[in-house]
A = this chain, B = another copy of it.
């Protein structure tokens, strides 16, 4: 599949590495092109599917550089979190509660099918569900049911995510982004980032 990965930080590199290994036709986009990376717009134009793995703080800037016309009609998998490290660790969120980064991105790109997902786990677990140490859940949020189904199938087939919970429209990103505030504390208590949550229900 032709995929554009936006971002060359830890998350972008983990995703690109795994997607290449799986044989996908990748262009990785970066603010500063060079080496393996092209400008954001090239990566966006290349992909049938685009993954937004930029730093949350610069995600809207990066997507503006990627260009709405290059993202039009496509699925954008948004794996970012609005983490604010300006006061050190633990971070807070720069948007939360009554809004979310997922919603802000969807608002900026009304003709793109934004699917918020993979933002509740670290990047090693993103690309290898088993690394969490057992069966656990992945979440999708977005306004387009077909796009969510595509991302869920992709997650299952490529990364081993058997359990994908469709939370609803893009406003449900508020839930998964806010969960980061718990994730951070769990990371502190468990002393590993290789974990996830599994929904248990009656």
Protomer copies: 2
Q: Which residues from chain B contact A98 at a C-beta distance below 8 Å?
A: 92
Give the top 7 A-B pairs by smallest Cβ distance, nearest first.
Answer: A195-B201, A175-B182, A133-B202, A175-B185, A178-B181, A197-B197, A134-B200
- Complex formed: what's the CA distance from A189 to B182 in Å? 20
Chain A 143-179 residues near chain B, CB threshold 8 A: 165-168, 172, 174-176, 178-179
CA of A135 to CA of B199 in the docked complex: distance in angstroms? Answer: 10
Residues of B with C-beta under 8 A to A165: 186, 189-190
12 contacts between A and B (CB under 8 A): A97-B181, A132-B201, A133-B202, A167-B189, A168-B185, A176-B185, A178-B182, A190-B199, A192-B201, A196-B199, A197-B198, A197-B199
Number of residues on chain A facing chain B (CB within 8 A): 41
A200 touching B189, Cβ below 8 Å: no
When chains A and B are docked, how far (Å) is the Cα of A98 from the Cα of B192?
Answer: 23
A19: which B residues are within 8 A, CB to CB?
A: none
A198 near B198: Cβ-Cβ < 8 Å: yes
Q: For the complex, what is the distance from the CA of A167 to the CA of B166, rounded to whole Å?
A: 28
Which DSSP category, helix, strand, loop or mixed, fits chain A's interface? mixed
User: A97-B97, A176-B182 provided; 5 other pairs, C-beta below 8 A?
Assistant: A131-B202, A165-B190, A167-B188, A174-B185, A197-B199
With beta carbons under 8 angstroms apart, the residue of B174, B176, B182, B198 that contacts A200 is B198
Name which of A93, A174, A178, A190 has the most chain B CB atoms within 10 A of its CB: A178
**A residues apposed to B, CB below 8 Å:** 92-93, 96-98, 131-136, 141, 165-168, 172, 174-176, 178-179, 181-186, 188-190, 192, 194-202
CA distance A183 to B192 in the complex (A): 23
